[in-house]
Structure 1
Amino acid sequence: ERMLPRAAVAVVCRCAAGRFALIRRGTPPDKGHWSLPGGKIELGEGTLEAAARELCEETGLCGDDVRFAPEPFTVTDVIIPAPPAYDPRRDVVITELPLQFSYHYVIAQTFASAPADVPLRPGDDASSASWFTWDEINKVRSEGSLDEEVVNVLRRADLLQKRGCLSSSQ
């Protein structure tokens, strides 16, 4: 069966105190790592609808507690190759083309804001959820528990918001 890229969303959610919502992934890929709330877009589901659903499922931030920017602010990819296959008959690792992939997501990065005092409740495939300051984000990144691509998305959202180019209004 031919694998095709899968559409997904992620949510940069910032509270009024300036902290960002991150979840610890409970399933692959990157199980155990901190990440942005998000997941697959279901057939017939709009991008912002999927973002709101995933944020609610993974953090408990739902409804009137959250205001979304009217459209995604960037798009990223997650492409994870499958481990090389081993052929025990020939005692070799097979690395010939075509390459196989475990995951390929095209991710619409969305932005939302929430009140400062809303507690996060992990759910769905998130094993935990917390608000992070920039110092805390840099700490988990340096420990290898937060992917550099996620930090880059957070930086981009932070910069766009500070320059007045990104606001949540819905």
Structure 2
Amino acid sequence: MKRFLRYLVVGLGIIVLQTAVLPHFLKIQMRPDLLLILVLYLSLPALSCSGAFYAWSLGCLFDVFTGTTLGLYGIVMLIIFCVTGSVGQQFHRDNYMTMIVATTLGTIAQTGLLIFMLLCFSNNGQQYWLEIVKQLPLQLVLNLATVFVIIVILEQVKKTNYRHLLHILTPRGKSQWH
């Protein structure tokens, strides 16, 4: 329960940062998808029901904050969590390249799932899919740059021996990206 509340607070902070704070500092319309990175990060250690519920909940909260179709990001984040958790068990999770590959594939999968869901379940899906595809390269670059920054921060935390901070940031008290 404490872990769920901790991740919920971190997730809400990320949603507020992504939807309210970053638009004021970044002059471009695109922003790194911090929620996707968090869901990918949580899905790599192990696939769990509580993690799936957490990914779905944060996706639905993101829908509330962004004003998109309610449940769209909830189901997209749930699918990404389940697929990444299932496939991620086959990879060496302690290598930071796993997170880079997961971010690349996750960003592409998120774009594909958003287009599919909008075309199937939304009346306005026809007008948005081309715009979503055009934004994919920049979104991928922003997400990868953010992951690199997070990797550097976690490595610095690990080097300076802030074990209590590392325990808060990682699911089991050890970095998954070293």
Structure showing the higher helix proportion among its residues? 2
TM-score, length-normalised on structure 1? 0.28
Greater Rg by CA = 1
TM-score, length-normalised on structure 2? 0.27
Greater RCO (Cα-Cα under 8 Å, separation 6 or more): 1
